[in-house]
Structure 1
């Protein structure tokens, strides 16, 4: 660690160095955290990882709403009057040190009895004595050690999430039954006679029947329900032949043991259900901790501070109210870095609003008293007062979610590959069964019923049904390892079928982390550059900070004069030299520059010098990605920004790429809808909440995120921004996965041909069924898993 690096958080201290206990810190917050750890014998926190901490945030008044019983009641998971339990999301959890300190909170606060961290979800479950410490005090304690929890409106409205464990129970029951039935069937397989034949054969057969009952009437119930719904909707899905096969297996096997015709097919029945459920479990066992259904509630605060309208002598009353209790005409206090929950008018204060949370576009904007502020904007640098124009439900951002597209279920309107094949498979099998039965009615009527049921048993599409969940489940796992998280297996298939790719611009094909800045104009002298750097140093405007960071280092000087003009720029003076930095009119620009670009203008001693032009920094490989995709897809850019980058984009993107600018959220949604009416399969790739409508409308909506655990609008997939250049490879692997599934259908067909030979000729015995059905299932599962692993090597 260098001498200017903070011992707690690892940040550069610059010139602000605080020395304490022979160590240096960048601020009093980091020093305080270190002091807390040291005084509570927790200094070994720093032994686990170098500089693992975070700078504590200023939260004065931020969590006052946690004193409101109605709000805390919704957040607390358990409360018996003394002990309370709560689960909090803490974005800063990132290493073993974080886990260690958070699971040792009881050493900092004896009122905390237990704390357990869920690292993948970045959650902590805390049990504490509510008589000794309140929820607000607990949250403030976490903030004081650099682990501020993130509490949103979604936490308040969602209620307790129920975990569905029914699939695990069904899998366990069917597996238990399958193992026992196979064990009880061995004497029949090897035709053991004598003592077994006379005394234990009936007992074993009825035991197999008993084991099959929970498998048929509980574990396989979903297949019967799905088949019934499909038939009611006049759709032959894959569950129709499966349900028919299970039913025939059970009825025939039961009849055989009742009339002592044979041992039945209980082994094949329980094995079939077990392998089918295993495939379903494998497919669902993926990244459930990611949220693909987020809307504005996931990001809005639970409560805000309302300023009482009652007039008192130079006093105003402040109270915390729930967001849903905000009414038109209320006056609210929005603190530094707080989100504006409603559309409102700015009454007092200097508003610097960052709308990138909503739009995903460009820089923050300056607002003056009387200007309208929209819900979803974040106030930067200080507190403001606003007067409410609309309630939460009526505000611009929340109205975006009233669109019918958010109430549609994409999976309901999508027919997957297996269901498409199953229509023809079911009809073919029924035709074969009827023809074979008719033949035996005229040849040997005693075998007709046996042949009919045998065809339905052996042709039960277990291998056909397993191919897709095992193949796509494995692809889900492989994609997840490379930071491409998909909502379900249907997304892979729809992704592979896409013929149109649409991209948002800012934050999607461009990065929000870096900017490409160029200078146009007269060269500045070293003295002017030094004055420029030191003047920018005092400003918190995003463009000022960006420009300050890219300029060469200069000695830190104390300005003689400094003034910031809201909405115009900043002015500084040192000795005889003055400088103006800001808009063209503020800097006295009389040149004929295009104003469409984002620019900062410079003048010194009333003489215009030039401007810094901010260009978007495009993500690595954008040109190559679009070139690869253009071979098989129609491409388009939909951006809420102006046309400042249009000329540049035309140079780097393929000629057939459509470029649309100044697009509002509804415009993006309607554009995609118009393409779908022409039977185009659309993939939308965006990042901001303004893209949520377009992502929901598209066949596949992919959200680009700099941090997959913190931000993503409603979507079908979340792609880590660092993997943006791998989109063509993900698309290629998805197409290969579909090809693998189709080839597995051919293998399954060969198995069915072999089995149908025994069934049609009346030679199907329990031994043959017990061999062919599990063997085909295991073979198909192994076949698709091996091939998808091979295909996935291209991206791992």
Structure 2
């Protein structure tokens, strides 16, 4: 049978394809979106990029909480005179076709007046009239065309947070002043005596002074504050000599123009501050759109369905849920509070919390913990604790989530800056003292020249430009770090700890093994037909595995939630599910997830679902094992110990059945002797990621569901982790080489400054030239290092 691809989304249509308008679709949802687009004049969507759509999801009552006006008020950015503006996160935005259709939403509904996409942040800003339309209507419309918004408790809480733009303003002020001061300096550069000498010299000089005032007292304020704090705590950081250099340039230049001794060094002053701020902006700007601070609020719903005594349903804010309330938890919803199951059979996925990849089945009267996801069927539960007192919230309340890793780590620049500052101040004092005794008229020039020539702007720029450029290179390979400090910490790592499920294993495919009596052709056909009628994840995986293309008509089909399924046809029956459901005793500790099969009254065997490990894992551990210790922390049982031991180096420590707090405490114990890297994927790893020196979250989708971390790594590039660590170490070498170059420049310059052979004006010209040379050197070197990442990694399928 020839495989057809869906005209809308490009996926394989399979056997359930829908044929409409001479085109094939994988489901009725994609066909409906096609009809919506073509009937509203949006068929150009398919001309921009073929198969670029996304399959719409059935949201049903998921967004009923948007009927609550109090919640809507908190979500919208503007709400006045019948017009609302909302900024929505749309994770499924992925190409130019998505942008085009989302910016033409006004063609789908007349109430929408404007819609704009921010592609890097994957957000959509919509302006719409509320008469005959609402936020709920907008969300449902977006979901119906395959662009379901991501609305979480985190989004609900962060509305009032504002972006800090102070650095942008300071950079703008410094750049404006630098450009104008350079322009005003041209007459003196070119010695335009006739034009300059008589009328405009004083005016131009005082204008340069005026332009320097906001640069010194506003744009460079942070350097003075940092230097003051350093001195107050008896720590000579890199900002002390920078602040001294800026202050010396300003005071000396002011004295020069006040007493008509010269035009000063305002051009060098403003240029120095501009380049320093540019390096800082380049560092902070890199990948600011990613969320590295996610907590449980990223996963929880804004509102839940509360069941009243008269059996009516009401959508209430999650924070208003209290002990004793009864809630309705629908299929695929997150359980937001600790509760007791009253009605329904719970099939709970606790992988976000415990790391255990297999579903847990609960019955009426049993306790359910917050953070679990109900996989099938609705549940009625009674609340035991409010959100603020739930197990998951208490887990997140651990002090480790509030600690600042940056503060505890001294950067390379600061460690060198401490020694550099002490040396510069000593040299300036001794040389000035010598000239005061030998020739007092030279003392001020020498003191000024030493401070200017030794201003560590080149050293201060080396780290931001080296590490900032490396952040950009890492980002091209889908490895996104929180800031440049992470690269410095990553370079010092000597121990790497990995989560198993979702990190080393992939959710994209399973390895399924059959153990038992071989099924007959008729039994295989009946088995596949029965699986075809079930929507359980294991049923779908097994259905895709069976090679028989024969399908029969079932006479009977039964699905018992949490137990299994049964199909009957032509007086034959087959059961698939748990051991007890098919009349078989379990075989002790499961070596993976097992699905048992019986035909009629005869037990046939079982299908064992084993984790499928990512390509190249063996090579990754081989490379990392050469330079650091390795370990595995898993919430699963040890059913795959043998498989892991084949992949991992001999001395790798393997720990199973680890709860979130166990992982956190293990990392803490290791840190007494080692610098620890933790690599995980789920909410259950968040404590360990936060505790570790560097925490990296592996994600199938970098924009959705990444726990709090220092870096986010695309799952497809996990095998390049050893290369990223190596490049981090080489980046530090580049910075050290830059420091050596800067030191050579300073030593030569200081010789001429101390001996009185270097005028301050020459020092002020050489200073920015050294900075530019350092920036060029670091950029070229990091780009050369980055080329190594372009080489494909050899991989082996396990």
Regarding TM over 0.5, the answer is: yes
**For residue 259 of structure 2, what is the aligned residue in structure 1?**
259
- Which residue of structure 2 aligns with residue 551 of structure 1? 546
What whole-Å deviation, never above 9, does each CA across 1:482-501 have from its counterpart, x for those lacking one? 10001000001100111110
Which deviates the most, 245-254 or 154-163?
A: 154-163
Partner of 2:39: 39
SS of equivalent to 1:413: coil
* Structure-2 separation of matches of 1:682 and 1:3: 48
On the 8 A contact 2:89/2:124 being kept in 1, the answer is yes
1:143 equivalent to 2:138? Answer no
- Cα distance between partner residues in 2 of 1:385 and 1:588: 30
Match of 1:425 in 2: 420
| Residues 40-189 of structure 1 aligned to structure 2 (within 5 Å) | 40-189=40-189
DSSP-derived class of the 2:162 partner: coil
Q: 1:682 aligned to 652, 676, 684, which one?
A: 676
Tell me the CA shift for residue 777 of structure 1: 0.4
Residue of structure 2 equivalent to 1:407: 402
Question: How do 1:438-587 residues align onto structure 2 when only pairs under 5 Å count?
Answer: 438-587=433-582
Which residue does 2:664 correspond to in 1? 669
The 2-side partners of 1:117 and 1:600 are apart by: 45
Distance 1:592 1:148, change over 3 A: closer
Cα distance in 1 for partners of 2:607, 2:335 equals 31
Counterparts of 1:260-659 in structure 2, within 5 Å, are 260-309=260-309, 311=310, 316-589=311-584, 595-659=590-654
1:699 to 693, 703, 706: 693
- In the alignment, what sits opposite 2:778? 784
Conserved 8 A contact 1:381-1:540:
no
Contact 2:505–2:611 (CA under 8 A) maintained in structure 1: yes
Q: Judge conservation of contact 2:340–2:366 (CA < 8 Å) in 1.
A: yes
Structure 1 pair 49/382, CA: closer, same or farther in 2 (3 Å)?
farther
Contact 1:364 1:542 in 2 (8 A): no
Between 1:463-472 and 1:429-438, the stretch displaced more is: 429-438
Q: How many residue pairs end up in the alignment?
A: 790
Contact 2:171 2:277 in 1 (8 A): yes
| Deviating more after overlay: 517-526 vs 426-435 | 517-526
SS at match of 1:411: coil
CA contact (8 A) 2:452 2:764 kept: no
**Aligned residue in 1 for 2:795:** none
- Note the alpha carbon deviations across 1:99-130, whole angstroms, 9 max, x for none: 22211111121111111111222211111111
CA contact (8 A) 2:512 2:608 kept: yes
Q: Supply the distance in 2 between the matched residues of 1:183 and 1:531 (Cα, whole angstroms).
A: 85
Give the CA deviation at 1:603.
Answer: 2.6
**Mapped partners of 1:8, 1:178: distance in 2:** 53
Moved more, 463-472 or 183-192: 183-192
Secondary structure at 2:503's aligned position in 1?
Answer: helix
Once the two structures are superposed, residues 365-421 of structure 1 have per-residue CA deviations (whole angstroms, 9 ceiling, x without a partner) of 332222222212222233221111111111111211101111111111111000000
Quickly say closer, same or farther: Cα 1:267–1:14, change in 2 above 3 A. closer
Q: Do the aligned residues in 2 keep the contact of 1:332 with 1:386 (CA within 8 Å)?
A: yes
Deviates more, 1:658-667 or 1:537-546: 537-546
Secondary structure at the counterpart of residue 264 of structure 2: coil
Separation in 2, partners of 1:134, 1:185: 59
Cα offset for 1:573? 3.0
Contact 1:672 1:682 in 2 (8 A): yes
Q: Deviations over 1:484-524 (max 9, x none)?
A: 00100000110011111010000001112111122222222
In 2: Cα distance, 1:193 partner to 1:593 partner = 98
Distance change in 2, residues 1:340/1:437 (3 Å): same
1:738 match:
732
Q: Equivalent residue of 2:632, what SS? A: strand
Question: Structure 2 regions of 5+ residues with no counterpart?
Answer: 791-798
Does the C-alpha gap of structure 1 residues 737 and 579 become closer, same or farther in structure 2, counting only changes over 3 Å?
same
The 1:332–1:205 alpha-carbon spacing in structure 2 relative to 1, beyond 3 Å, is same
> Secondary structure at the residue paired with 1:731?
helix
Q: Deviations over 1:576-598 (max 9, x none)?
A: 43333223344344696753432
Moved more, 70-79 or 531-540: 531-540
Give the secondary structure class of the aligned counterpart of 1:319. Answer: strand
8 A Cα contact 1:751 1:772, kept in partner: no
Secondary structure of residue in 1 paired with 2:491:
helix
* 2:713 equivalent to 1:719: yes
Q: Secondary structure at the match of 1:201?
A: helix
For 1:305 and 1:685, locate their aligned partners in 2 and report how far apart those are by CA, in whole Å. 36
The separation in 1 between residues aligned to 2:282 and 2:747, in whole angstroms, is: 28
Shift of residue 198, structure 1, vs aligned partner: 4.2
Residues 105 and 394 of structure 1: is their aligned pair in 2 closer, same or farther, counting only changes over 3 Å? same
1:245 corresponds to: 245
Deviation at 1:14, TM superposition (A): 4.0
Find the aligned partners of 1:93 and 1:148 in 2 and give their Cα distance.
10
Q: How far, CA to CA, are the matches of 1:620 and 1:566 in structure 2? A: 35
How far residue 462 of structure 1 moved from its aligned partner, in angstroms, is 0.5
Correspondence for 2:746 among 752, 762, 769: 752
Do the aligned partners of 1:77 and 1:160 also contact (CA within 8 Å) in 2? no
Q: Deviations over 1:696-746 (max 9, x none)?
A: 111111000000011200001000000000001111111111000000001
* Preserved contact between residue 524 and residue 548 of structure 2 (Cα < 8 Å): no
1:116–1:124: 8 Å Cα contact kept in structure 2?
yes
RMSD over aligned Cα atoms: 2.0
Return 338-347 or 138-147, whichever deviates more: 138-147
Give the Cα separation in 2 of the matches to 1:385 and 1:570: 23
Q: Quickly say closer, same or farther: Cα 1:158–1:195, change in 2 above 3 A.
A: closer
Q: Deviations over 1:569-624 (max 9, x none)?
A: 33333334333322334434469675343222223233333222222111111111
CA distance in 2, matches of 1:697, 1:632: 22
Q: Is the 8 A contact 1:264 1:766 kept in 2?
A: no
Cα distance in 1 for partners of 2:280, 2:586 equals: 67
Change (3 A) 1:479 1:195: closer
Q: Could you tell me the TM-score, scaled by structure 2's length?
A: 0.95
Distance 2:256 2:48 in 1: 67
Q: Distance in 2 between matches of 1:82 and 1:591?
A: 62
Deviation at 1:548, TM superposition (A): 1.6
- Per-residue Cα deviation, 1:327-350 (whole angstroms, up to 9, x for no partner): 111111112222211111222223
On the 8 A contact 1:341/1:375 being kept in 2, the answer is yes
How far has the Cα of 1:27 moved from its partner?
Answer: 3.9
In the alignment, is the contact (CA less than 8 A) between 2:351 and 2:684 conserved in 1? Answer: no
**More moved, 137-146 vs 481-490:** 137-146
Structure 2 distance, partners of 1:194, 1:29, is 80
Tell me how far 1:21 sits from its aligned partner.
3.6
Report the 3-state secondary structure (helix = DSSP H, G, I; strand = E; otherwise coil) of the residue aligned with 1:514: strand
Specify the SS of the correspondent of 1:288. Answer: coil
